[in-house]
Amino acid sequence: MRDTRAELILQAEILVRGRGYSGFSYADLAAVVGIRKASIHHHFPAKADLALALVAAYDERYDAALAAILAQARSGVARIEAYGRLYLGGVEDDLGCLCAVLAVERDALPDAVRTAIARFFDKHIAWLERVLAEGLADGSVRAGLDPGSTARLVVATLEGALLLERVLAGTTGFRGTLEALCEALSPRGV
């Protein structure tokens, strides 16, 4: 049996990441999924309800990915590199980060969606800050960095590189940016 709600979330995420929140309608989504618009309203009465479900699903996937990185990568820089590789799928598929795409349209979004987006980025910054602090403590990250400021730098660098590669239509620049970021975070002489 088909899980219509899950399919709606999956296809709506692709539409939003590719076109933006204002760039798609329930009619677009209905056409992609092959159902009537009324069926979408059954699951998501308002577009804001769909946006909240999108952010929640995206956040859940990232939670699992971040936990896997902590379990698999041991050094601070290796964890940052693995985090950066999470963005590569978007680069390769010409899709932006869902929360960054939504953030661009911040003023058009309901407060609940803005809050969910902020929570997503706050969580990522906190995770990166932890990774950097642990890397400083074990010597796997260059000494002298401020974990809080550097965590924001990592997010800004990767989000900016993703945006730039969507415009330039390639992955080479993103890969080079990730490599340069990791090199800058590596302990000197390593």
∠ CA 124-10-172, nearest 5°, is 60
The string of pLDDT tens digits covering residues 28-70 is: 999 999 999 999 999 999 999 999 999 999 999 999 999 999 9
When mean pLDDT is compared across 52-56, 63-67, 89-93, 105-109, the lowest value belongs to: 89-93
Q: Which of 124, 155, 7 is nearest to 62 (CA)?
A: 124
Domain ranges of the chain: 47-185
Query: Which tokens go with 143?
Result: 């000494």
Cβ pair 51, 36 in contact under 8 A = no
The string of pLDDT tens digits covering residues 6-39 is: 999 999 999 999 999 999 999 999 999 999 999 9
Report the alpha-carbon distance of residue 38 to residue 30 in Å, rounded: 9
Sign of torsion over alpha carbons 104, 107, 113, 116:
positive
Query: Which tokens go with 7?
Result: 């399919």
Q: What is the CATH number of domain 47-185?
A: 1.10.357.10
